[in-house]
Chain A
Amino acid sequence: MPPMPDQAGLYRQMYRIRRFEQTVLDAFPKGVFYGTTHTYIGQEANATGVLAHLGADDIVFSNHRCHGHFIAYGGDLRALFAELMGKATGVCGGLGGSQHLHWRNFYSNGVLGSTAPVAVGSALAEKAKDSQALAVIFLGDGALGEGVVYESLNIAALWGAPVLFVVENNHIAQTTPIELALAGDIPARFAAFGIPCSRLDSSDALEIHAAAEAEFAALRATPGPRALVLDTQRFGPHSKGDDTRDEALMARIRQQRDPLRLLAPRLADTQRETIEAEVEAEVAAAFAQAEADPFPEAAA
């Protein structure tokens, strides 16, 4: 039996993502941030449950909706706020912005699907170097419309790339519901290339943690691509104030599929309240620091 996951740790990580993203959405209209953003509210259990199993040398590829992945990877909140503000102290010194983060073995890119071959190539490089490191790539349901993803699945399977494809199926791509964008089903796409795929419809961090644990164990035992489809829900707008979905339906979804609400009963009230208070303070301090940070100087 694997040890019980650290429930308080999972809750804390998800709460950090939630409070970070809420702060972003609240502060955006005040002009504090610059550019765009795609928040992870509602999907916190995915990154938190999956990346809990990451080894120190493992590699993560993320997409436009990358804040949650970055925070779960261990990324610094102040540096992320600062990157969204375009500050010199940002993750990439303000050059990348919300969608283009790199820190240690974490990379994100805002061009949908383009990360698939890069993740496969990274995994193949680690295999060639005999490093034992794995790559994990997060893709949305919308990215499954990109042809290069399928070229990458084919190559990953042919060449035995140690990579875990995590599809976060939130049933929507920007404003387009999955019914208008995706024919057939998602696991069959992986099956076509002989890539083992499991699927979980849950927002429960413990369930996702367990499913990912099995995937990582299998991947470390037999290197070669695997896939995990996580059916999930995006609570907020695609970017900012651009949600076209039915408000009553969204209210019901938020009620039923909130990862925080699902995990909260497993913690003692006092423990949960302590975590929440600590995270509130941490996020507020990170935001204040980033706000006070300097902008980079443009080259003359």
Chain B
Amino acid sequence: MSTVLAALNRGLHAAFEQDQRVYLIGEDLLDPYGGAFKVSQGLSTKYPDRVWTSPVSEAALAGVAAGMALRGLRPVVEIMFGDFSTLIADQLINSIAKFGAMYGGDVAVPLVVRTPMGGRRGYGPTHSQTLEKLYLGVPGLRVLAAHALSDPGELLRRAILEDDGPVFFVENKLLYLRPLAAELQDFEIEQHTPPGAYAATHTLRLKGAPSAALTLTAYGYMAELAREAQLRLAFEHEIFCELVVPGQLAPLLPGGELDGALAASLEKSRRLLAVEEGSYTLGWGAEVLARAAQAFPGGLKAASRLAAPDAPIPASRPLEEAALPGVEHILAAVQKMV
């Protein structure tokens, strides 16, 4: 069975094979190591001229990629841990995402920054964070989140080859070893691609279930946990939910409009729970709830969110488990809402 990791690796290989302009730069990329999480394995052997293993210089790597993209190449930057994306924040915000618009629109910056995020591995406060919320709402920057429901490698390949703007591509670490699109036989899955996007939003409902009492929304690895919760809620508590999983976190629709798939689900359920692994305050879920509130001026019956507390993520297993939202947290929250 294929895993998310294998799919991402295939996506990179496909991009390299299909377009000579694709380059990869990052730390510790050379085989046999192939990057700290092995997503880049095999590339340096097959394409030695186009894989540049680099010094530990994240900010410069992002800037170098920006220059390469400005001059017609399609670079991919691997940032070893998403926590270190803070080191490229200036390049991302003030160069990469800006050039397209600030130079009057005649410049393209086709590059992809890929990075693992997330905890549950005991790596401690500086190697476990889910920081993508910092980059949501940066004009000119697309943020995509891999998930296991459809092929994330194909999404990555399209981001590299078909997107003429910059993409911040988030890979939750626990997703890597998840089987791809597995155990979906109980679900009916609808795909909806928001205007201007190419990553589909997936809506999952249990086959034969009565109309949903609540809409769960989550992305990345959290969508896997939400799906498990969705099953248990149905089988153990007879609470039926729909799960809406976006692939694109940013940009959202202009004017504060709610994503169509989410709107369609809420139209029926009128209850919303957004779940994320990032810290609570000003998180992704806050934006989702705000948009839902605007979309339903008459109000929803219930709206809430789960996120990590506004505190550093502890290294200790029991403390980390308690801090990061998991299946049990979702079960408890949903039961309070219906």
Contact = CB atoms under 8 A, between A and B. Distances in A.
Interface in A97-142: 100-102, 107, 109, 111, 114-126, 128-129, 135
B147 to A, nearest CB: 31
B54 A155 contact: yes
Interface string B73-114: 101000000000000001100110011011111110000000
A214 B23 CA distance: 33
B52 interface: yes
Contact of B95 (A92, A109, A152): A109
Given A59-B71, A117-B62, A95 B103 contact: yes
B67 A121 contact: yes
B174 interface: no
A187 interface: no
Given A114-B95, A117-B62, A122 B68 contact: yes
A93 B66 contact: no
Interface of chain B, main secondary structure: helix
B44 to A, nearest CB: 15
A151 B52 CA distance: 15
B67 A151 contact: no
Contacts of A202: none
A114 B64 contact: no
Interface in B281-321: none
| Interface size range on B against A | 35 or more
Given A93-B105, A95-B103, A114 B63 contact: yes
B73 to A, nearest CB: 5
A96 interface: yes
A104 to B, nearest CB: 10
B64 A121 contact: yes
A294 to B, nearest CB: 15
A106 to B, nearest CB: 10
Given A122-B67, A125-B72, A107 B103 contact: yes
B208 to A, nearest CB: 48
Given A95-B101, A125-B67, A102 B61 contact: no
Which of B55, B59, B71, B72: most chain A Cβ within 10 A? Answer: B71
A100 B64 CA distance: 19
A256 to B, nearest CB: 38
A120 B72 contact: no
B51 interface: no
A70 B313 CA distance: 49
Contact of B63 (A107, A118, A158): A118
B95 A124 contact: no
B60 interface: yes
Interface of A: 59, 90-93, 95-96, 100-102, 107, 109, 111, 114-126, 128-129, 135, 147-148, 151-152, 154-155, 158-159
Interface of B: 23, 49, 52, 54-55, 57, 59-73, 75, 90-91, 94-95, 98-99, 101-107
17 contacts: A92-B103, A96-B102, A96-B104, A102-B103, A107-B103, A109-B98, A111-B90, A115-B63, A118-B66, A121-B63, A121-B64, A125-B70, A126-B71, A128-B68, A129-B71, A152-B60, A155-B61
Given A120-B63, A121-B63, A155-B54, 15 more contacts: A93-B104, A95-B101, A95-B105, A96-B102, A101-B103, A116-B60, A117-B64, A117-B67, A120-B67, A122-B68, A124-B67, A125-B73, A151-B57, A154-B57, A154-B60
